[in-house]
A and B are shown apart, each in its own frame.
Chain A
Amino acid sequence: MPDMKITRRNFIKVAGTAAVGMTLGFPALADILKAETPLSRVVLIRNMGAVHPDGQLDAAIIQSMLDEAVTVLFDAKTPQAAWKKIIRPEDILGIKTNGWKYLPTPPALESAIKARVMEAGVAENNISIRDQGIIEDPIFQKATALINTRPMRAHAWAGVGSLIKNYIMFAPQPWEYHDNSCASLGSIWLKPEIKGKTRLNVLVMLTPQFHILGPHHFDKKYVWNYGGLLVGTDPVAVDATGLRIIQAKRMEFFKEEISLKPVAHHIEFADKQYHLGTCDKDKIELIRRGWTEGILI
């Protein structure tokens, strides 16, 4: 057991990656504790070429963005070294994606993650990439590690579709977490089969959706080429940063502050009630890389 004399702020920082991760002695987490930095690190990487003018995504650029992001996030010299800090060859890995038809996790990003975890030594037959049906998936059932990735979008019941919300498919009855605008979503992360297993969160901000007109509404007018990925170990910090970008875009678009309907308070609940991480921007170390025009944050 590592030294538990950590401050609350330390706790917030590492909780998203998982207390279990600490006990397993992952170098990345050990480094975090050693540095005694009180901040949750989030890397925002952007590339204007990631989304082509016709909307197609550039797989090579997305791979390079992910590589740079993890290298920075874990203070590593190479992407491979970074992945080895969070993934072991014997890991059984569930990559939780999102399959919403209008704005799914890009297959190019799924492939990029898979390529690097396989380089880290994880056998292909020990990797599952999935959204629906994860609780029946044998890999997810025995997973020792999880990677969570999805695009951020405005959502009619949770405010935004977030990384925290993305784990709702681990619940046999997802609607049990819908009350009060999905305020209790963070509690899903505390379920024994999930707690402590999430090694990385990648919030896709390539073409986020900042507004909707009704439930499951999608209009190309309300997405834009932001060309970004937000990467971190603290899902609350990553979501809170993504939400700030969405809110800034809404302000830019509407020329006035129009609140999301409903407010995305599940992110704050995940911090204050479930202690999964921090949504306080003063406790988030945001590292920006790449394209700066229109960064909004």
Chain B
Amino acid sequence: MKKKLNKELINYPIIIILVTMSVLLFVSCGEEKTKLDLIVQLPAKIEAWALVGAPEQYDRQSIFDYIDGAGEVYLAYNFRDVKVYHYMASGKPEITVELYDMGSDKDAYGIFSYTRQNEQAGIGNGYDFMGSLLCFWQGKYFVNITTTEETEETKGAMLNLARAVSGKLPSGGERPRLLRALPPENLDLSGVLYFHAFSILNNEYYLSSGNILNLDSAAEAVLGTYRPDKAILLVVKYQSEEEAKEARDKFIERYAPNIDSSGDGTNEKGKNIKIFLDRDYLSIVLDASSKSEADAIIDKCREMISKLE
């Protein structure tokens, strides 16, 4: 009876399906593992520091478990996941490597532009070393290497670690095309920012408590600061001309109601503003010291935009 029951319980088609799925899953995991290994096999040792344990991994849902609310900075750049590696050495400060998959070259550059203070060449597509933090971008990856205390030893180890990580990542990576909308004359390169979210803009240059430019993840924006008077140029590329028009009207209504039909006005600091709409591109000069300075920046910007299409 028992044997008969067992036989009846055996469902051969289901077994075949399960076996097939297991084989496919195994193969798929193998491929994934191979891909992952290319990325995660960081050096086991860098000078006195040894890699400890397997990397932690956080995605868009779990990022707040790792970085609390500040994880929003990465989410604002369409972050996919981060792997975190810990390097320890007896009696020395810990060194942490964070490998962020930002999903695209543009956003890897974007979060780099938000983090770095002065860009240097030599590691990845650009890096900055600020003592206890070294960051660089390469392809769709943004890499943060941090320590809690800067010493001569951590400096050397962090630089070597950065080079080693860079060597493990696929090379290449293109900067966002929209950067070319910023006229290069008198542009402070260390202050160039690429972003999507209004909150990122506000963190860099506080405009308003509300999203008065209708920025969202589909919009692309660049911000540049111009010498000598720190005039700001903001260029946003919207999904459509209609969206750009709506944003312009909202900006004028909420921020600069005194803007005239030529796009000229002043802000509450008494500085000059100029706004210009060209198809789906909205360009805004803020904090110019004179109307002529605002005009000059916008004129050059228009030329740059015309070359983008």
A residues near B (Cβ < 8 Å) are 100, 102, 155-158, 165, 168, 174-175, 178-183, 213-221, 261-263, 265, 269
Contacts and interface: CB of A to CB of B under 8 A. Distances in A.
A65 B199 CA distance: 39
Contact of A215 (B70, B131, B206): B70
B199 A180 contact: yes
A182 B209 CA distance: 10
A180 B67 contact: no
Interface of B: 64, 66-74, 115, 117, 130-133, 135, 144, 146-150, 199, 202-204, 206, 209-210
B146 A217 contact: yes
Nearest to B147: A219
A179 B199 contact: yes
Given A214-B133, A215-B74, A219-B149, A181 B199 contact: yes
Main secondary structure, interface of A, reads loop
Contacts of B74: 215
Given A165-B69, A178-B72, A219-B131, 4 more contacts: A100-B68, A180-B202, A219-B150, A221-B131
A161 to B, nearest CB: 8
B149 A262 contact: no
Nearest to A220: B149
A140 to B, nearest CB: 19
Contacts of B199: 179-181, 262
Nearest to A213: B133
A263 B206 contact: yes
Given A217-B133, A221-B131, A262 B150 contact: no
Nearest to A263: B206
B206 A158 contact: no
A104 to B, nearest CB: 13
Q: Give the 6 A-B residue pairs with the shortest CB-CB distance, closest first.
A: A215-B70, A219-B132, A156-B70, A262-B203, A213-B133, A216-B67
Given A157-B69, A215-B73, A102 B209 contact: no
Nearest to B146: A217
14 contacts: A157-B71, A157-B73, A158-B69, A174-B64, A175-B72, A180-B199, A213-B117, A214-B133, A215-B70, A215-B73, A216-B66, A217-B132, A217-B146, A219-B149
A221 B146 CA distance: 13
A14 to B, nearest CB: 27
A261 B71 CA distance: 14
A102 B93 CA distance: 12
Contacts of A179: 199
